[in-house]
Amino acid sequence: MMSLGPVETMSTEGEYDARIVAHPDGAEAWLAKAKLRLSRGDHQAGVEFAIAAASRAGAVPEAGRLLVEAAARAGDAHLLGLAAKCHLQLFPDDRETSVFQRLVPPRLLVPTPQDAEELDAFNQILASIRDRRPRRYGQLLQCLLALRPRSILEIGVFDGRNAADMIRAGGRTPAQTGALRYVGFDLFEEMTPEVHEKEFSKYPLSRAEIGHALSAFNQNHLLIQGYTQDTLKAFRQSPDAGPIDFVFIDGGHSEETIQSDWDNVALLMSEKTVVIFDDCYLNKVKELDGLGCNSLVERLARDPRYVVEMLPVHDSFDKDFGMLTIALVKVRLRPHGGALRRLLRINPWGRPATGRS
């Protein structure tokens, strides 16, 4: 395989993250993170960050080549074929380079009748990663595109936009998007002003509205209405529940509700599962007491069973009490055999709240 080029030590990843916080649309720091993770054997994260770089790089060939390298190292032939064909649309001469000759089997470059539709969908996902607002949600899509899950569980569907984007990114191509399993939990019509205030929540669309929108491109979704303290537990105990490959926790924002959601989700995890929490608050003010995932993920970061990582793109919003800065936190089970030897400890208030909305 090709050389990844100079790789700095793991201690510099915080510097890359700081550069991403300051300039989330720049490709250079994402490229550096991808190279670093690949050098450590963390191929899943390497692919994810190479996708992030490719989505932001425009006509910079290094990013496309690195995504090809990352997909090859991860053994992901499906992504390798998509990434290679997409790259060759921009840089056709690269087909004759030693990189493509060694990494990309010729069968993956054979034209198919589905190429136009599949490459258009792939490019649209990359554009969504770059252009998604709030910015932090693009990180969900790059993770899903790298993971290629069989199932997605979302707590807090709201208006269904994240659901639609996540299904498309996880499926990668229109044919597979239609069959990907999605389960979404929300109060939908049961949301009340009291719960809205207590949980620091949003008023969701109706379950029928969300279902109608998802049915346009996915035939394997289930929307469950009610309080997750009850509905998620019942789902988890059902015979066809899991494990779930990707979970996004963005429902009620009280610490009590987030803890309850995690207690059920933790029992649906496998070694492949990625769980992402929204609402890690980077500015600690009294108005946020009892809210957010901060306390929980700090405990998980001290638990040797888990790898915990704060994702670098943050969003900031001007509220009545001042600036609210929000980050996503990723949690995975630690692989057996110590492939990820270093626990990515987080300190939510250890860096200034400089995220951008």
Question: How distant is the alpha carbon of residue 2 from its chain centre?
Answer: 27
Q: Residue 51: which of 154, 133, 164, 170 has the closest Cα?
A: 170
Q: How far apart are CA 254 and CA 258, in angstroms?
A: 6
Looking at the chain, list the stretches that DSSP marks H as alpha helix, in order from N- to C-terminal side. 13-22, 28-39, 43-57, 61-74, 77-90, 98-103, 115-131, 138-147, 161-171, 174-179, 193-198, 207-215, 228-236, 255-265, 294-301
Q: How far apart are CA 88 and CA 94, in angstroms?
A: 7
Contact 116, 89 (CB under 8 A): no
192-241 pLDDT tens trace = 999 889 888 899 999 999 999 999 999 999 999 999 999 999 999 999 89
Q: Residue 326: which of 351, 301, 350, 355 has the closest Cα?
A: 355
- Angle between helix 138-147 and 161-171 (nearest 10): 30
Average pLDDT over residues 67-95: 97
What does DSSP assign to residue 267?
A: G
11-52 pLDDT tens trace = 478 999 999 999 999 999 999 999 999 999 999 999 999 999
Per-residue model confidence (pLDDT) at position 332: 97
CA 144, 165, 347, 14 torsion: positive or negative? positive
Name the residue with higher pLDDT: 98 or 54: 54
Q: φ and ψ at 161, to 5 degrees?
A: -65, -45
* pLDDT-based confidence at residue 297 (cuts at 50, 70, 90): very high
In 188-344, the DSSP E strands lie at: 221-225, 246-249, 274-281, 306-310, 315-319, 322-333
Q: Which domains does the chain have, with CATH numbers?
A: 10-118 (1.25.40.10), 136-333 (3.40.50.150)
